[in-house]
Chain A
Amino acid sequence: MPKTSKVEDKTNKSDKHPERQVLEIRDLHTQFSTHDGVVKAVDGVSFDVIEGKTVGIVGESGCGKSVLARSVLQLIEHPGQIVGGKVLYRDYAEGEEAASQNDILALPSGGSEIRSIRGGHISMIFQEPMSSFSPVHTIGNQMVEALRLHKPISKVEANEQAVDWLHRVGMPNPSERIRAYPHELSGGQLQRAMIALALSTNPSVLIADEPTTGLDVTTQAQILELLGSLQEEQGMAMMFITHDLGVIAEIADDVLVMYLGRVVEEASVTQLFQSPQHPYTKALFTSMPGTGEIEDNRLPTIKGSVPEPHSRPAGCFFHPRCDSFMSGTCDIAEPELLAVNGQQKASCFLYSEGE
């Protein structure tokens, strides 16, 4: 539960240099044409991914968080289509001055440039680690292949680096395990192998799409710990997609809350947990067991369910479920994402009235 008392902020990391944006996502639109109509899965989302920091993207199923993550790497397949926006990537590897901005979305799909970015500069890990591995090749072969695709090194060197990475992610017996096939590893080990595969090319951004969902709490804690410490060593930026506010509390620096394709709130993790502003965010917090006072053993709930994405309500998409609904405003006009409290932004008419 968000508390108002000031508490020691453990989330500040020591800043070596001023914040540098690795990715700038601007007005991204991704939509799907379905039989029921056009689904605007990502509908005008903008945010920055900062070097060495983690931006958490949280929302319920259907809010567009995974489509957002995949859009960044042009990984959208038919019938989906990225219809607008920019994903500006800046590579600081060659020094601050040399850093030029590339629009990833402008790169020809399937071309060599986008392929060198995918898995090289920007890596992605998934909820289901089997989707990152081929079942018919050993873990080692797949890591060596990925390494040699992005780095000019020999097979022997690549093999050494792969063993080293398996060791770093805490794989027991890495020089043995490198010869294992994916099915021979447990879920937690496969998750570790996937992280090793994704990070072995030293990417500047790691996109993690629900990487701990479905794991036991103990394994989840181990994986979050691992990702946090690897981030400190590598200085990579992370984009962390999850439905779990507890995971956000553990790992994020900044948070976007999404609902039906749009960002409804944007805040630092401390602000978000201390004083959530958007009614949807507030409701998400109170419906989590163990976060607030409970009357008669009943959890506070959000009424109704998430509407069908192809028929989003008029006005604010959340208004039919909102306890602060103002008739004549919320059901007519669409709220904008505006600053409400310093850096914190929310798209709600409760806050635009007074200004």
Chain B
Amino acid sequence: MEEEKSALEHLELSQVNCLNEAGEHTLRSIVASRKKNTSPSTYLLSDVDQELILNLHFNQLVKIRSIVIQSSVESQAPKTIKLFINRPAIGFEEAGDAVEPDAAQIFQLTPEQVKEGKKIPLRFVRFQAVNSLHIFVASNMGDEDETRIDAIDIFGAPLSGGGLKDLSGLGKENDD
């Protein structure tokens, strides 16, 4: 497989938002640089309970191959994840009840995956035209009230010929 590029650079930052995030530890703070967050002082923390919904909007259609979810505190690391695509109005009730194929993919994270930030390969066919990706965190490793995510990264490529904002990037077409 060819070297994958981070799709974070195609994020539409003004639309990025997160439900149930704590006031001081927001999703925006860990993706604002459009790169994987490396600063230990910025992280995303849940507020009222352990659930989180991360809404990531892209400025063009992208294909997503794999994602990385990293957390430095094991007991607060996310465990059950549901991924949705192109569902900008999703809420906790809907997400909690959703099963595949309504949710694009449901999986459990292992402690190694979150600790080292290993790539989690996704079912590529279901992520072929992603305008917005919604990551629902249903539970965490230690059943704590707060879920902590230090960094996320998304690997994929813009859909060929799709991006209006990226017309100059002719070379990118070769990636597919």
Task: Tell me whether A and B are bound partners.
Answer: no
Residues of chain B at the chain A interface (Cβ within 8 Å): none
